[in-house]
Amino acid sequence: MPQRFDMRAGSPRIESASRQAEPGLPLPTSEPADPSAVEPCLIPLLPEGILPDKAPAPEWLDIYIRYAGQVSPMTPRLFHESAALWMTGVVVARRIHLAMPWGNVYPNLMVAWIAPTTLFCKSTALDLARTQALRLFSFLMTAQETTVEAFISDLAGRAPSGLADCSTPVRMRWEKRRNFAAQQGWMLDEMSGLLASAGKDYNTGLMEAILLFYDCTERYTRSTRGQGILEIDNACLSFLGASTPSMLAEYLQAPRLWAMGFWPRCALLTPEQEYPVWKMPEAVPEPLEISDFLSRLLLRLPEPTYPTPPQSIAASFAPGMIEVWENYCRVLRHDLLIKNEINELLSGAYGRLPTQALKIALLLAVMEWEPEEPAPVIRCRHLAHAMHIAESWRHSLHRTFALGHQNEFNRLRRRVLKQISRQQPHGATLRDICRQMQDKKPDEIQDVLRQLLNAGEVEERSPKPEGRGRPTTRYFLAQR
């Protein structure tokens, strides 16, 4: 049966390039003395002069972050900031673009919040953004619960079964949503379910379709026996999802999701600190400026009527800004990659970071779009602030990648210890453990055993057999 998804759910100058890297969250090494004691991951620095001095954020962005930080103070600023950007991108709905040599860049985003449960209050922060979206532009949001088939059908603008039996207000809301059928915002409280379902036979091609919708493909055609031919025109999917490191560890380790471009398209955001500082929420009124800006933007942009696609306004660069961005693009997409300073799986993400910086700059320009201007203009302050946000996303990318490796090791560690405990008091051989963990290669299990021995969690003994034969190495839980 198809799976159902619950959709409710100035700065200091940059240091010289002579410094090779700076510490972030740790990455596991081959033989740490303690499984929890690992080397810091290395984040390549930009050459001096590539990143402009940080400029002030648009006032609306500051207002939202400040308000969200009062209501959910233990949520990282990184999450609140990305939520505000994501909402603005949903409202734009493919109606503003930046013309680049390879094609138009639209300001929709794919964002994934990855943090331990409870501590960082991800759901509270998501609910803040969801409340704004459902109150102000619910017609730009996907259904809160749907099947994959219905999701694709909705994007094509096809009427759902039973629509004629619905009340007049329901039909009117659906008709307004159909005007923006393929330009939608998607919010998932637990995105691991999407990734798990995408690997099932009945959802073959789902991930590829999602990537095309995010890339704003002009036409997507799907043909099935049950639904016939579905055509989705002028897609523009904005995605905001959340999960925990343990739930996503398996998928962050999956080379296919990196190679196919799913993770490289996502802003993988994780907290800078291991634990948040305790702070109680404040009962503060929502600033009127938050809804005022989004409402005015909705009214200012051209509204389509199905099946006519939405018209898009061409934004522009202020003089000299394209050169600043091109230098940043060259460093990330070429210079840092040829130095082989990053994991090969991250090369796709590095290649897409400059485009993410463009999307952010365009969103910041939209936030300060002057009434007398026919189209937004990306000025120095927008590009500078956008590049700093993109850099915070780049650092978070490395933290997330390290986090995925750490969680995978901890998962294997627990499994190996469990198999050894089952063989007490006689001890477990390597063969015993491998037979119970056939999904893992013997080399992987041996590596975990070696690290557990170094950490003192496991003891290795070779009891002398009663008869003839060579002693067999057995592993025991360490006596503490």
Domain ranges for the chain = 4-408, 426-477
The string of pLDDT tens digits covering residues 187-197 is 999 999 899 88
Strands 39-44 and 183-188: unpaired
Among 109, 186, 175, CA closest to 151 = 186
Backbone angles phi, psi at 19, to 5 degrees: -75, 130
Q: How far is CA 317 from CA 194, 314, 351, in A?
A: 37, 10, 21
Q: Residue 187 class from Cβ within 10 Å (0-12 exposed, 13-18 middle, 19+ buried)?
A: buried
- Which comes out higher in pLDDT, residue 476 or 406? 476
The string of pLDDT tens digits covering residues 27-78 is 333 333 333 333 345 899 999 999 999 999 999 999 999 999 999 999 999 9
Work out the average pLDDT over 91-104.
Answer: 97
Kindly report the average pLDDT of the chain as a whole number.
88
Distance, CA of 183 to CA of 310 (rounded, Å) = 9
At 151, which amino acid appears?
A: F
Backbone angles phi, psi at 274, to 5 degrees: -65, -40
**pTM score, whole prediction:** 0.81
Q: Residue 266 class from Cβ within 10 Å (0-12 exposed, 13-18 middle, 19+ buried)?
A: buried
- Confidence at 302, pLDDT banded by 50, 70, 90: very high
Asked if residues 361 and 378 have their Cβ atoms less than 8 Å apart, the reply is yes
The string of pLDDT tens digits covering residues 406-460 is 666 777 788 888 889 988 888 899 999 999 898 888 888 888 888 888 888 888 9
- Confidence at 23, pLDDT banded by 50, 70, 90: very low
**pLDDT > 70? residue 9:** no
Asked if residues 325 and 354 have their Cβ atoms less than 8 Å apart, the reply is yes
